[in-house]
Amino acid sequence: MRNPVLNGATAPLAPRPAMPGTTTVAGPATLHGPATASGPAADSGTTKPGRAGPRAGLLLATILMGQFMALLDVFIVNVAAPTIRTDLHASGAALQLVIAGYTISYAVLLITGARLGHLLGHRRLFVTGLAVFTAASLACGLAQNSGELIGFRLVQGTGSALMIPQVLSLLQLTFVGEARTRAMSVYSAVLASGAALGQSLGGILVSADLFGAGWRPVFLVNVPIGAALLLIAPRVLPRDDRRDPARRRGLDLPGLTVLAAAVTLLTVPLVLGQEEGWPMWGWVCLGLSVLLFGLFMALEARLARRGGAPLVSARVLRAPGMLRAAVVIMTTMAVNAGFLFAVALHLQSALGFSALRTGLAFAFAAVSFGGVGLTWRRLPVSWRSWLPGAGLLIAAASFAGLGLALRGGGDGGAGLYVCLLTLGAGLGLGFSPTFTLALFTVAPQDAADASGLLATVTQLGQLIGVAALGTLYLNRLDVGAHSSAHAFAVTSVALAAVSAAGAAVALGRRRRA
């Protein structure tokens, strides 16, 4: 079955976003109050933790704006897909790679970017990644054919993979105590709202057709922002400590090579499988990816036994609640990506919503998702450990409500927007407290490793969400009258079920707390 997005719809074809860093606490982290730093935080040399003063706010704004641009670019292109296809005479496969190429290079290189930041310095890698991303955005906006655009999108993803893992490491090195908790809340809000706001901003820019440029502003909008950040970042980011002993850990080239191959073999079939009709090569790639992930784990365990520095420290995996938090984060991102995919297709291809109207509809979810990320700490302390599970239950109810609101081919009326608001709030509660907990369980020396790990978990969750839940929607489109409404009704049940399963995982942690 061909993907409707290539025939006029504009849903996300491949999910995306990414991130993590770490912090140090005086014991097992909890959600019952702000963590306080203890022990030898990474404060040697010129990098001082607990940065205070007027420049701290500018530093936070700088790195989070870089984060936001990178996340935005995962989704902003989706609503421009039909115009890109018409203007560049792109084939269906080429258009798929325009949208997915960024995601593939981004996911494959995230762990590498995290380790390079550890070796070469987080400030240096952030600025380098930002420069690559900004230059590639300009090149994308000026591309004259689909081949050029695909190549520049791959370079864009590479820039993001260098830049994104440094964000939370810089937060960890810069803020402590309550200041760090506030910074993480803002970070979670930015991360959580990037997907829906990307859809919204893309719809606005494409509909505006600025200077007759059509789809090009969705890329060119990054250029002035990136240029401004490149002027500001070297002045406000803490200098890298060249004496940091962690720099002697090495790059672990065998581990990086095997992991990159494993992630590539996993992501390419997930991104292209539906468009290509799930051919045999896709299943072979998925099978090989499982084998390579097993080989990667064996190599890392062997390196650790020999006293080396594996890409993902065992301390990160053993941190209290880390694996459970990773499952909840992956579940939340999967249902978020699957929801964006199915709803965008249904609203535009079936209900005839314009790109602008679809984008503005997603803004309801984006605002509530981001708002929860900023405000959940104001809720009573006794509630906080219950929030992730409760949030995913709210999301499950909202998905069921969306299925009812859009049943029979109707546009949902006010019910659509109410469900989007509650859905955003529920996913925000599922994501932000869980993410904060995961970060507050990791020691500062493992900041880069945890950053790459959680970024990859988030990214793969989104890919799996579109591959599984998006495919479910697409495969139900041939069922009788009002096929899109029927397909979304089935998908909404699956979204609700996956959200409820995530809630069970989150509440299972709470029962043993």
- Using alpha carbons only, how large is the chain's radius of gyration in Å? 21
Taking residues 183-205, what's their average pLDDT? Answer: 71
Q: Based on the number of CB atoms within 10 Å of its own CB, is 16 exposed (0-12), middle (13-18) or buried (19 or more)? A: buried
**267 within 8 A of 107, measured Cβ to Cβ:** yes
Residues 6+ away with beta carbon under 8 Å from 498: 331, 334, 335, 338, 469
How would residue 19 be classed by pLDDT, with cut points 50, 70 and 90? very low
Nearest-angstrom CA–CA distance, 72 and 192: 11
Reported as a single tens digit per residue, the pLDDT across 441-465 is 777 666 656 666 777 787 778 778 8
What does the pLDDT look like over 345-390, one tens digit per residue?
A: 788 778 888 767 877 788 788 888 878 877 887 888 788 778 899 9
Is the pLDDT at 309 greater than 80, yes or no? no
Tell me which of 33-37, 307-311, 394-398, 495-499 is least confident: 33-37
Residue 285 has pLDDT above 70, yes or no: yes
At 367 the pLDDT is 83
pLDDT for the residue numbered 231: 95
Q: What is the predicted pLDDT for the residue at 190?
A: 77
Q: How does pLDDT run across 217-273, given as a tens digit for each residue?
A: 889 989 999 999 999 999 888 887 766 555 556 677 888 889 888 888 987 887 777
79 φ, ψ (degrees, to nearest 5): -75, -15
- This prediction's pTM: 0.73
The C-alpha atoms of residue 326 and residue 454 are separated, in whole angstroms, by 7
**pLDDT at residue 509, rounded to an integer:** 55
Distances in whole angstroms, Cα of residue 107 to Cα of each of 126, 146, 149, 314, 337: 17, 22, 19, 21, 15
Give CA angle at 249 (244, 252), nearest 5°: 150
How crowded is residue 124: how many other Cβ atoms within 10 Å of its Cβ? 18
Question: What CA–CA distances, in Å, run from 238 to 63, 121, 129, 221, 471?
Answer: 12, 10, 16, 27, 45
Residue 510's pLDDT is 53
DSSP code string of 230-270: HHHHHHHSPPP-TT-GGGGG---HHHHHHHHHHHHHHHHHH
Structure tokens at 142: 């000026």
Judged against a pLDDT cut of 70, whether residue 312 lies above it is answered with yes
Other residues' Cβ atoms within 10 Å of the Cβ of residue 186: 16
Each residue's pLDDT tens digit, 390-430: 999 999 999 999 999 888 778 888 889 999 999 999 998 98
Question: Which structure tokens are listed for 503?
Answer: 């809630």
Q: Which domains, ranges and CATH numbers included, belong to the chain?
A: 4-29+54-238+311-512 (1.20.1250.20)
Q: What is the pLDDT of residue 227?
A: 95
CA-CA distance, 446 to 76, in Å (whole number)?
32
Report the percentage of the chain scoring pLDDT > 70: 80
Average pLDDT taken over every residue of the chain: 77
Burial annotation 494-505 (CB, 10 A radius, 16+ → b, else e): bbbebbbebbeb
